[in-house]
Amino acid sequence: MISRRPRPARTAALLAAVVAAGVLSGPSAQAVAGDTATDGTYGFTAKIDVGGVRACSGTLINNQWLLSAASCFVDDPAQASSLPAGAPARKSTATIGRTDLTSTAGEVRQIIDLVPRQDRDLVLAKLATPVYGIAPLRPSTTGPAEGEVLKGAGYGRTKDTWIPNRLHTAAFTTGPVQDTAVSIDGTPVCKGDTGAPAFREKDGRLELVAVASTSWQGGCLGSDEARTGAVASRVDDIRTWIRESTASTLNAWKLQLVTKTSSGLYHAMRDSNGDWTGFGDVQKVAGTIEDVKFAADAAISGKNYVFALGGDGHLYQANRRATGGWEAFRDITPEIGAKAGLTRVAVTSTGKGLALIGLAGGRIYHTIQDPDEKWGKWGDVTAKLGTLGNATQVTTAQTSGGETQVGVVADNKAYHAIRHTDGTWSESWGRVSNLPTGLDSINGMAFAGIGGDLQIALSSPTGDIKHAIRASNGSWSAFGNLSGKLGPHQPAVSVDAAAVNGEFQTVIVTTDGRIKHALRHTDGTWDAADEPTGYPGTPTMAAITGSTS
């Protein structure tokens, strides 16, 4: 690494000059000069090998797509705009999540399709199969500002090594900002850096700001140039293009999320690529509810049902249609009956209708919405199964065979019961806390039904998150620890779970107001945790459900 005081670089003029000078041609190299990265950091950075002729860098932006520079994949980097869409001309591979290239960490995938962008040096590269377990770097929606400090990561030439085997990081300062590009200066950007990410940290999260395109290469091994400036392509204004261009790898399933924040009630979706939509204001499209206290959601045949508990103690229901439009909130309290002290609700699809669980005045209640969307009156579950002291949370899920699974947190302990298909209930509450959960105290519980199995997430006041599976025969698996999978240890104030296309997904809201999401695949492996961003205010709870729209 060469330590220099960053200085402004030229943009359009610099871009023309460096391309004319051919700084991106020549022997195959890898990526950014700078400090050696700590093992396991910046795993979203990819080393791209283009037919053994050249090496570039890229960024994993979702589970099956990289964002890089189009000039990586053409013989003449000055002709980046000539790159055709489709399979790369030369067999190309990407190594992702491997800080030390001599190790076997991370994943290697063939690049099978390219989607170039015409107005700047950018390309989307499709991987042959998804990459799980490596957190992607999401493109920012906020453009760079002149004088902003950014960081970069890549694998390439430094001041003294031609082809290093380790990922390096670098610091940059932005210069003038144009419509599609930004100049960066500071640590040298060397041959093979084409496509490397330049990113910022915002609110404790990293976000992709730009993708390296061309540079002077001052300070790089083999270069006599003193100038260290470079040009990078902006990514903050291409969200729609990314979503449209990556749609080929989507399936029909989405995760629907509703969150109550200090600013209101908001909705977002996560698709099968792992991309989140922006957050929409539910009350702007479905009607205002005074002082929302809690929310829940469920889905049937692509229709998302959202429930909101108002400050008046009434329960309201709105529907998001499969086409995306909303049906307004309606007060369902006259149908189900008023319950003083209603503080929590949980809802699950029964296949054709909904099952609703309520917590009011320390008692547990249950009701059903039929296929015609007509509600029955609350039934008193506590009267059937017994009183639980100081109940604070409820959860519910449907398992195959039509059984409704109900969970309650009371006195910092977890309890479970079943409503059978004939309408009868289990004899009493089963105490999940008697199992070897590894938790002394429980403050949250969430259920998801996957086939005949019930998958469960438990949270503790100290921040531990546990996961287990109750099989259809009533046996329980060991409880695994999710705390590490969900990122830095932080207590949860809310936990929810859902089955999405046969996979278990869970979200927590932490005490510092962040929403964190984790996904367990059908083979038992876990994906890297991610965080949706862009919600107004500070979240206090989140509810999720799986949907086919």
> HEC profile for 84-133?
CCECCCCCEEEEECCCECCCCCCEEEEEEEEEEECCCCEEEEEECCCCCC
pLDDT in the model for residue 358: 98
Q: Where along the chain do its domains lie?
A: 12-245, 250-547
- Higher-scoring residue by pLDDT: 2, 244: 244
* pLDDT for residue 25: 32
CATH annotation of 250-547: 2.120.10.80
Lowest mean pLDDT among 183-197, 201-215, 341-355, 356-370: 183-197
Tell me which DSSP letter residue 250 carries. Answer: -
Residue 280, exposed/middle/buried by CB under 10 A (0-12, 13-18, 19+)?
A: middle
Res. 360: pLDDT tops 80? yes
Average pLDDT of span 339-352: 96
Task: Tell me what the pLDDT averaged over the chain comes to.
Answer: 89
pLDDT of residue 74: 93
pLDDT computed for residue 34 by the predictor:
53
161: pLDDT strictly greater than 70: no
Return the pLDDT at 155.
Answer: 78
Place of tokens 């080929």: 248
Q: Look at residue 241 and give its three-state secondary structure.
A: helix
- For 12-245, CATH gives 2.40.10.120
- Which of 32-53 are b and which e, b meaning 16 or more Cβ less than 10 Å from the residue's Cβ? bbbeebeeeebbbbbbbbbeee
Taking only the tens place, the pLDDT of each residue in 497-532 is 999 999 999 999 999 999 999 999 999 999 999 999
Percent of the chain clearing pLDDT 90 (strictly above): 78
Mean of pLDDT values over 149-172: 77
pLDDT at residue number 315: 98
Helices (H), 105-234: none
Instruction: Over range 314-329, report the average pLDDT.
Output: 95
Query: E strand or H helix at 337, and its extent?
Result: none
Q: Is 17 or 58 the better-scoring residue by pLDDT?
A: 58
pLDDT at position 26 is 31
pLDDT reported for residue 10: 28
* Angstrom distance (rounded) from CA 255 to CA 542: 12
pLDDT tens-digit map of 443-495? 999 999 999 999 999 999 999 999 999 999 999 999 999 988 887 778 999 99
Query: What 8-state DSSP symbol labels residue 290?
Result: T
Q: Find the mean pLDDT for residues 134-142.
A: 95
427 burial type by CB count under 10 A (0-12 exposed, 13-18 middle, 19+ buried): exposed
Kindly indicate the confidence band of residue 27, based on its pLDDT and cuts at 50, 70 and 90. Answer: very low
pLDDT category of residue 220 using cuts at 50, 70 and 90: confident
Give the per-residue pLDDT at 156. 64
User: What pTM did the predictor assign?
Assistant: 0.89
Q: What is the pLDDT of residue 135?
A: 94
pLDDT at position 3 is 27
Residue 162 has a pLDDT of: 53
Q: Write out the two tokens for 93.
A: 């591979």
Distances (CA, A) of 322 to 164, 210, 304, 521: 51, 35, 8, 25
Is the pLDDT assigned to residue 5 strictly greater than 60? no
Confidence band for 78, pLDDT divided at 50, 70 and 90: confident
* Tens digit of each residue's pLDDT (9 = 90 or more) over 410-431: 999 999 999 999 999 999 999 9
pLDDT band at 17 (very low <50, low <70, confident <90, very high): very low
